[in-house]
Homo-oligomer: A and B are copies of this chain.
Amino acid sequence: MHPSTTPSGREERGVTVRDVARLAGVSHGTVSNVLNRPDRVTQKTRQKVEEAMQRLAFVPNEAARQLSGGRSRLLGLVLLDLENPFFLEVARGVEDAASAAGYVVMLFNAAGSADREARALEALREHRVSGVLLSPVSRMAEGVPRLRAQGAHVVFLDRRAPRADFCSVAVDDHHGGAEAMSHLVSRGHTRVAFVSGPSHLRQHQARLRGVRAAAVVAGLDPDDIIVFREEMSVVGGERAGRRILAEAAHVTAVVCANDQLAFGVERATLEAGRSVPRDLAIVGYDNVDISSHAQVPISSVSQPMYEMGRASIRLLIDEIENEAHAHEQLLYTPTLIARESS
């Protein structure tokens, strides 16, 4: 009925519940009721109020709602390292799920620094967020118990919870390694090498253990899996590839701890005039673009990053909203994407 009769250029700053109440001819609290418990209000009153809100372009002030209601629709996302494309996908899943549930997410990049992580956690405390998703730099930052003491919930992301009274969402690297290995075994390979990054990487270690476990299952000697460690890059992979051809000619297949390494191994193999997968089969890890773009597309273990983002929000919101919430440590299962390299 009423087209927007708002005088153009009107200063909207400060349209308040009181203004709406006045225009609708009801009380302050009634306006609040149509916002928060519409069922307690007559259909008729509700319409009047809603029309007034429309005409005044009223937008409730979240800070005030939070302050008086005690509740907050604010979530924090603290990422270990925004440079890693892995976290882009995670962030996308987080944002999708959070905004679908009516929450807003504050983004922080710890960039590998415990200090930045601590500052992020502090800022989140100031904003009285109701929950935080944390892919931690440090094992158990002191900000975590503080957040909890303040009533905020914390879910660990890409890391198993350090204690059973926290939720977490992580990936089963052991299983991923095992998948890669048993895939190669099913293709008839028995002499397999593992190409890895620096030895201290938790994930790479777990993947190697998985490979060995699958070897055992297949009746092979796990100690026959030769490990080549190189810098985690295409160049490192090329070096590993050359070393394998030279030092371990009996090897017929390779599992690599990531796709950059696998890409390098393949290139070195092809450049030596050998065939992939006939002379050397290759499986990578992460299933990033580079694996499918390789000259011979590379099989790779894929982690459900987007889905992990969604799941972590689901757990967090359940912990926030559901009284009967039980903590869960989700462990996602990576899957092998088979391509022509194996």
Interface residues of A (CB under 8 A from B): 10-13, 57, 59-64, 66-67, 72, 77, 82-83, 85, 88, 91-92, 95-96, 99, 104-109, 111, 116, 119-120, 122-123, 125-128, 146, 149-151, 234, 263, 267, 289-290, 293, 295
Complex: A108 Cα to B320 Cα, angstroms: 21
Bound CA–CA A107/B99 (angstroms): 10
A82-B91, A120-B99 as given contacts; A63 in contact with B60, CB under 8 Å: no
**Can you pick out 29 interface pairs between chain A and chain B where the beta carbons lie within 8 Å of each other?**
A11-B149, A12-B146, A13-B150, A13-B151, A59-B125, A59-B150, A61-B126, A61-B128, A62-B63, A63-B63, A63-B72, A63-B128, A64-B67, A82-B91, A82-B95, A85-B85, A91-B107, A92-B109, A95-B108, A96-B109, A99-B108, A99-B109, A99-B120, A104-B106, A107-B107, A234-B293, A267-B295, A290-B290, A295-B295
Closest to A13 in B: B151
Contacts A107-B107, A108-B99 known; A57 to B146 CB distance under 8 Å? yes
Given known A85-B85, A91-B82, A106-B105, contact A62–B150 (CB-CB < 8 A): no
B82-A88 in contact (CB<8A):
yes
